[in-house]
Structure 1
């Protein structure tokens, strides 16, 4: 007698072999037998005829670092068959966070609406809060470069001093010792974009000493796509670690060099023996904070100073030039009809509308509309 038998399903075992029809027996939470037909009884049986049975999927690129604290059942993953999440991607995440205000700024998915404590300084403390009550999924956390740089240097757009670099290396070492699976960067965002190859190689080498991986949202996937890939490959070489290039797809306005980009990666892998993985996405749409439509100097600061800027008519006037002659990678993707509001505490009735429609409802221009939405929330 076992706890569970799943019968007559098409079994995909994860080895790459073709699916085959069979039964699976589970007892005390473990698979104990897989056969064409299992001749035993179970407390509970499932008829999987016409369905596929496979190991849980691994989502290699998530930003669930904080949302898992608010929803430990992680239904949005489990209902898709995902049982393992890699978090801390793109150099963004909630730890280390000695300055709570800055830590919240660089955590994708953070919301006061969750009413969830943000109460840790170090990565190990964050992992204790994450894992100790239990989760419905496995998690492989990456330690984010952006969080580390904010903790040591804030938004300073300069190379670190020797002392600052050593402090950042200590943060990486501490996180890896606590259980991080690797080190991530987001070089298209602040503060990651202020780091050079030497800084990133030094930090990545610390992760490599713990057999950690390097996962990078590279610096650019349009105007300097090739240069950005070469930079990441150099970091992987210098650190001597496995690399993962995140969502490696060209921007719609990129030059036609994607084939050469892939050839460069394949050459590094096949001829040099570098361990490199890439991932991409099938979606046309993607989420992001509204504030990233603005110039970075508006939001790279303490919360009280950001609020002062959002209230300033002079700052609004300065930002109009950004919207009229966009260099921001998001604004270059399309007009305001391409951006939709998906969450707003102050204007829930506008959720689902695009920013062009919202501008017309407000009777404001695009720049004033962005500032009004941000300031209200």
Structure 2
């Protein structure tokens, strides 16, 4: 009997140790997650930019155009003096004007046709975090009246864990993953910043490579006869088949990413108002929200589609309307003018063409 008691006691010691260890770990994890939820670790969102003080090439259907980049790393637009108002434009490739000449972008049209200075600091691929970081960097150097934030339909997707970002995270050291387990949001902020630094390096290397290539002017006749195969969209489907749902379904698939985006948005709003400026929001819809032919292209490729996106309102739009209304922020929803038009996109591409930028410039002139 005495031996049985000793065995029971010996067995209970490791069990107790295990229970105490589990309890300690649970308390530690809860404590760390509470700290994480309050955002006690402050990391800059960060952004990447074009190589500063250089002239770099941009392309329109193979036609090359060189543009000057300033000390902040964004493309220099029309420099205006003696103006009555100045606006800062925050956005991504749609606002930058990817795939068209600079003179045909809507900020440059507005610079020519209004007595205001429209400062376009947008860079292709930018997320809301990047736009916030760019605003903090450049706003002290420009006297501004209003800040225009251009929200493109895939911004929620880009704020989330994209395949490229996940690939970057998976190649981090083991201790980053341990820290991320205890402080998921704080570590995510830190890793996002280092991720954007890696994009900066890749961008500079790629631009250097492209700048050194011999230039061959495109055969415009052959270009016009090329069959459109939508290869970029097919590649996107292979990489991220839930791309559209993760962009537009903010109450289901994209709920967590929208909450992240919303927190950054409200921080940006607070910063802009603290700087005694006013925020305006312009919504640029995804092509599946206004172009029926592109909706069918996505559908045929295999993306999961929702007829509400094209015919009514996506969850993203409804959330954006509610968010701006609650915070008394003017919202210009471009779907009102773009819906059911099939002439606003570049051939085989997601980017807006010159017809669309002309339309947007006219809208902004009336709505400002």
Per the TM superposition, whether the score is higher than 0.5 is no
The TM-score with structure 1 as length reference comes to 0.31
Structure with higher helix content: 2
Answer 1 or 2: higher relative contact order, Cα 8 Å, separation at least 6.
2
Structure with higher strand content: 1
The TM-score with structure 2 as length reference comes to 0.32
Q: Name which one, 1 or 2, has greater alpha-carbon Rg.
A: 2
